[in-house]
Structure 1
Amino acid sequence: MEDRIVNEQTPETCAGCGVAIQTEDPKRPGYAPASALARETVICQRCFRIKHYNEVAPVSMEDDDFLRILHGIGATDSLVVMVVDIFDFQGSWLKGLPRFVGKNPILLVGNKVDLLPKNINLNRVRNWMQHEAKERGLRPEDVILVSAQKGVNIDELLARIGQLRRGRDVYIVGVTNVGKSTLINRILHDYGSADLEITTSPFPGTTLDKIEIPLEDGRSIYDTPGIINRDQIGHMVSPQDLRRITPTARINPKVYQLNDKQTLFLGGLARIDFVRGQHQPFVVYVANNLYIHRTKLENADEVMAKHHGELLSPPTGAEAAQALPPFVKHTFKIPPAGTTDIVISGLGWVSLRGKEEAHVVVHAPKGVSVGIRKGLI
């Protein structure tokens, strides 16, 4: 991508999250003290505290605010870059994307490739993503795997954007926390201006409005606020526990050889009962420091009642455990052909590959999406 980033900034908006700057009400989005307006790069107080103190700074943003911005993309002539989290593909899928973008071409980017286990076949992952996208009614022009955090394949991504955009604007879209702003910061630092930096954090809703980054040809790259997928478990836990369940390093799969009538607890956030089937491995792909506890199915209810929030954590503490929605059951019959993943949105997945049908019940907080898919690995 030969286009260069132009170091321009609209002083009326926050350079970190894109919200309009105001100096009157510290409780409203976009507040900055009047003295901050004299700085070359203006950011709101919320972005300042996220960046320097890693503080949670909730704001009042409704789903309609996000949808209003995305709906406007369909009226433009642009290249749309949809970013998904490879580790949480289902949970990070932007539902209804075609109706947002109209006839604009779409480039699908799988971020956080650095979290996948070693020795994985990345071509197979690309093909898997293309298949999953088509299953959801989306036919992207291409699929690129990157790590915004580590800078993996950024050259390839920029070259493909340059080929596909053909003099048009570029809109970066996705749900919260897929790494859109980190990706744009990587582009800015490597190929543009290090003076500009978009605020990033592990908390949902960091980008509050569309952020424009001008290109030399008069066009722009736009970072858009992330749509909140409320079926992700990360929206139900405290910021402290969100950090614990969000992978920050390459996943080390954990293998548990289970007989039927055994149970696995993924911390205190999900429970997997192997009700009936042949002895087989359950391969768990979650954040490396998430505690996993195995017990007999007949003891699982008692273990949950006695240890939820303590031994079975996160959630951390009895109060956090009580704040979770009640657990509901999801029943699956896992076919013997090939590998099947049981996916818990925002937490990870468990892979099964048995020679006979397996009957599994997954317990997860009400509202969390739980499903099965063709095995990713």
Structure 2
Amino acid sequence: MPERIETTRRCGGCGIAIQTEDAKRPGYVPASAPEREPIICQRCFRIKNYNDASSVAIDQDDFLRLLGGIAQTRSLVVHIVDLFDFEGSLISGLQRFVGNNPVLLVVNKIDLLPRVTNWNRLRNWVQKQASANGLKVADVVLCSARRNIGFERVVQTVGELRGDRDVYVVGATNVGKSTLVNRLISDYSDLHRELTVSRYPGTTLDAVHIPLDDGRSIIDTPGIVYKSRLSEVVPRESLQAVLPEKPLKPMTYQLDARQTLFFGGLVRFDFVEGEHQSFTAYVSGGLPIHRTKLERADELYERHKGEMLSPPSKEGLDSVPPWTRHTLRIRPGADVDVFVSGLGWIQANGKRGSVVDVYAPRGVKVLVRDAML
């Protein structure tokens, strides 16, 4: 059923067209809500009354149109990314939209990494990866929204960098953006004034301007949906197994060439060519891993997909795109990860190089990167 838009009515907070069909899309108002003038959407209502910037999502094209006007503003752009899915949640091409405005990169979910992690090395890795993706950052802050780690530093850095600027907060879905916006609202705004309907040229009506005490605004943008993330294409009932909530426990496998690892029934990893070596998987503890010989892999998958090889369940298989094979060559001596967006990564520990094939749902991002850890 198409989303019903009440085009004659717009939110008195952000100006978005009111709709009553989908609570996850901008402009939602429950059909049972009492008639009020001016009417405000559920998102603005929650910001105004509860300091709660509940997340909404839009597709990539709409999001890029929203970014189009940032370069003409005087703003600090706060880009929040998911450390577990770094390349999958980094906004491609953000640099060309921000102009001369500074970018603060906030890296969430550091609580998933082992406690022995070298945080300075990790911070340098993040800066290097951001640069490799064409993004110039004024600073990098590591944090955990779930554990409330590092958020004092985030707020402090925002204060240092923004001066008299507005603050744009951007990020993909499920990276912790709403938690950050809520914290900024709490620290910088008393919300005594009404939400503003003013917008900068070039932006859409999907962004909410939250007035700050100094007359500037936090601009909370909807989360962007990237279909290149495994978490966006698997059935909802599989997300609990795929998305980790506890620190990752590295699983190391000593493999000979022509051996295969199945990650549930979602991703297949073939060690095609190379000398005996180890591979370390950093994935959710809720995702079972099965090892077999490469010559048996096709048969095993056909016999056990949706059962032993799950998630997804048999019922959920039809909703997952078919696999695409990615052949990756790892050069001798390279210290690299094989990254699968939304699944995690497999660190290659061999010194003599290898060839691996990764089978993942069509469209999911698969690449080789410098090792994170």
Cα shift at 1:171? 0.4
1:42-70 Cα distance to aligned partner (Å, 9 max, x none): 6539x99xxxxxxxx999x5543322221
| Residue matched to 2:167 | 170
Cα shift at 1:287? 1.0
Report sequence identity in percent: 45
- TM norm structure 2: 0.83
Identify which of 70, 78, 81 aligns with 2:78.
Answer: 81
| Residue matched to 1:253 | 250
| Residue matched to 1:356 | 352
- Counterparts of 1:214 and 1:264, CA distance in 2: 51
Q: Does 1:368 align with 2:364?
A: yes
Cα shift at 1:112? 0.9
Cα shift at 1:243? 2.7
1:186-243 Cα distance to aligned partner (Å, 9 max, x none): 3445676699xxxxxxxxxxxx921222211001112111222221112211111123
- Counterparts of 1:312 and 1:44, CA distance in 2: 40
| Residue matched to 1:8 | none
Q: Is the 8 A contact 2:60 2:226 kept in 1?
A: no
Q: Is the 8 A contact 1:116 1:250 kept in 2?
A: yes
- Counterparts of 2:216 and 2:259, CA distance in 1: 58
User: SS at the partner of 1:359?
Assistant: strand
1:247-278 Cα distance to aligned partner (Å, 9 max, x none): 11211111111121110001111101111222
| Residue matched to 1:9 | none
| Residue matched to 1:30 | 28
Say how many residue pairs are matched.
Answer: 343
User: SS at the partner of 1:90?
Assistant: helix
Q: Which amino acid aligns with 1:164?
A: L
Identify which of 284, 291, 295 aligns with 2:292.
Answer: 295
Cα shift at 1:74? 1.9
Q: Is the 8 A contact 1:67 1:227 kept in 2?
A: no
| Residue matched to 1:137 | 134
Q: Does 1:345 align with 2:341?
A: yes
Q: Does 1:44 align with 2:53?
A: no
CA 1:84 to 1:98, structure 2 compared with 1: closer, same or farther past 3 Å? same
CA 1:105 to 1:211, structure 2 compared with 1: closer, same or farther past 3 Å? same
1:18-48 Cα distance to aligned partner (Å, 9 max, x none): 673737x546852234644669x96539x99
Q: Is the 8 A contact 2:190 2:212 kept in 1?
A: no
Q: Is the 8 A contact 1:259 1:280 kept in 2?
A: yes
Matching of residues 184-333 of structure 1 within 5 Å: 184-189=181-186, 209-317=206-314, 319-333=315-329
Q: Which amino acid aligns with 2:87?
A: Q
- Counterparts of 2:59 and 2:226, CA distance in 1: 13
| Residue matched to 1:117 | 114
Q: Is the 8 A contact 2:240 2:286 kept in 1?
A: no
- Counterparts of 2:35 and 2:213, CA distance in 1: 26
Q: Is the 8 A contact 1:21 1:44 kept in 2?
A: no
CA 1:150 to 1:352, structure 2 compared with 1: closer, same or farther past 3 Å? same
Identify which of 112, 126, 132 aligns with 2:123.
Answer: 126
Identify which of 85, 89, 92 aligns with 1:92.
Answer: 89
CA 1:340 to 1:64, structure 2 compared with 1: closer, same or farther past 3 Å? closer
Which moves more between the two structures, 25-34 or 354-363?
Answer: 25-34
CA 1:350 to 1:80, structure 2 compared with 1: closer, same or farther past 3 Å? same
User: SS at the partner of 2:316?
Assistant: helix
Q: For structure 2, which runs of at least 5 residues remain unmatched after alignment?
A: 1-9, 47-54, 193-204
| Residue matched to 1:160 | 157
User: SS at the partner of 1:22?
Assistant: strand
Q: Is the 8 A contact 1:336 1:353 kept in 2?
A: no
CA 1:257 to 1:190, structure 2 compared with 1: closer, same or farther past 3 Å? farther
User: SS at the partner of 1:147?
Assistant: coil
Q: Is the 8 A contact 2:260 2:269 kept in 1?
A: yes
- TM norm structure 1: 0.82
Q: Is the 8 A contact 1:255 1:284 kept in 2?
A: yes
Q: Which amino acid aligns with 1:299?
A: R
- Counterparts of 1:79 and 1:194, CA distance in 2: 20
Q: Is the 8 A contact 2:336 2:370 kept in 1?
A: yes
